[in-house]
Structure 1
Amino acid sequence: MNNKNKQVAVIYKSKYGSTKRYAGWIAIKLDADLYEVSDIRDKDLKSYKTIIYGGPLCAGKIKGINIINKNYDKIKNKKIIIFAVGLASEKKEVIEKILENNFSEEIRQNVQLFYLRGAFNYDELGLVDKVMMNMMKKVFLNKKEEELDDDARGMLDAFKNPVDFTEKSLVSDIVDAAY
């Protein structure tokens, strides 16, 4: 491994593929080392100057984020960039809520967080995810039409018509932040 590759590690956890796709695009653009979270050891994190972690959102939590939280004291002197992948349209309050739900105040002050929209195909979900999504669908269906926001309407439609918001150009802000 040459020294340039030790500059940036892109680490990800992906369930249905959107996060893995984004992580791959970021790693290619930065000529970075790419790891699935289960393949990197805590001690390896120390050898990088920049650590980029991406994970899918599930009930407001970033899957696999413990790799950052539990190792924070060892890596806090590095550039830490996080990207979360979900389906909500990007809003400032979404990003603030993700930070709040996943990090202590100290970590929130020292990481850069980006939010990227992923994909949703109900037919490809596992059983547990289908049950969770059906509960969410019931909540939406029990509301009056005027009480639904655009995200809720879009989610209801996505049960019948799969959506994919992933786009290579969306990683450019993350790539720029790594420099």
Structure 2
Amino acid sequence: MGDKIAVIYKSKYGTTKRYAGWIALKLGADLYELSDIRTKDLDKYNTVIYGGPLYVGKIKGVDFIIKNYEKLLNKNLIVFTVGMESYSEECRNKIIKNNFEGERIDKIDLYHFKGAFSYKELGIIHKAMMKFMKKNLEAKGIRDLTEDDKNLLKGFESSVDLSDKKYINNLIDHVYSINK
């Protein structure tokens, strides 16, 4: 592949970093943690892939994409998110609304991968947010819980890791298709 590719990620608990590593390895791309890349570094890439975890619908570190949006407009821009929610059209629309309103979303290819959750590993702010979410889930009643809800509740007792290398296949195929 003649295209120069950068995979940039922001990760709090490690799952996004794992996905970014798998993607970079598969594509022979340069891999950067968000704090290690500068705007001027973007010039040498034709394809930029950004990955971040979802927290309350917001992509961690997405400000980098927004801030550099004009510079990225003439590049292949792919964003992947990592979270516990299953990907659906509703999920996609929420991600776009919460993160890219006003931006030309037609220039951004968006992917979502299943993540991991362990309440015990969370920082104090995330623990507080998750306690609130747990309370809401428990109020639903067992019949109304989705598979995503059940996985989240499991994460309060023990680690739940739904990450899988197979989730990156569509993104990889897409990159190959745009770089033929």
The answer to whether the superposition gives a TM-score over 0.5 is yes
- Size of the aligned set, in residue pairs, is 176
Task: Give the corresponding residue for 1:144.
Answer: 141
Partner of 1:23: 20
Name the SS of the counterpart of 1:46 in structure 2: helix
2:159 is matched with: 162
Segment drifting more, 160-169 vs 98-107? 98-107
Match status 1:65 vs 2:54? no
**What is the Cα deviation at residue 69 of structure 1?**
0.8
d(CA) in 1 for partners of 2:158, 2:89? 27
For 1:14, which of 11, 15, 28 is the aligned residue? 11
Q: Distance in 1 between matches of 2:62 and 2:9?
A: 9
2:42 to 35, 45, 69: 45
Alignment-derived partner of residue 116 in structure 1? 113
Letter paired with 1:55? G
Q: Does structure 2 conserve the Cα–Cα contact (< 8 Å) formed by 1:72 and 1:107?
A: no
Secondary structure (helix, strand or coil) at the match of 1:54 reads: strand
Matches of 1:102 and 1:114, distance apart in 2: 14
TM-score by length of 1: 0.92
Q: How does 1:53-132 map to 2 (within 5 A)?
A: 53-132=50-129
**How big is each residue's C-alpha offset from its partner over 1:128-178, in whole Å with a ceiling of 9 and x where there is no partner?**
111111111112222333343332232112211321111112111111122
Deviation at 1:105, TM superposition (A): 4.3
Identity between Structure 1 and Structure 2 (%): 50
> Residue type of the partner of 1:77?
N
TM superposition score normalised by structure 2:
0.91
Relative to structure 2, which stretch is displaced further, 91-100 or 101-110? Answer: 101-110
Of residues 169, 174, 177 in structure 1, which corresponds to 2:171?
Answer: 174
Structure 1's unaligned 5+ residue stretches are none
Deviation at 1:46, TM superposition (A): 1.8
What is the one-letter code of the residue matched to 2:26?
K
> 3-state DSSP class of the match of 1:16?
coil
Unmatched 5+ stretches in structure 2: none
Shift of 1:65: 0.7
Q: Which of structure 1's runs of 4+ aligned residues deviate more than 6 A?
A: none
Q: Distance in 2 between matches of 1:46 and 1:10?
A: 14
Question: Root-mean-square deviation (CA), in Å?
Answer: 1.6
- The structural deviation recorded for 1:122 is 1.2
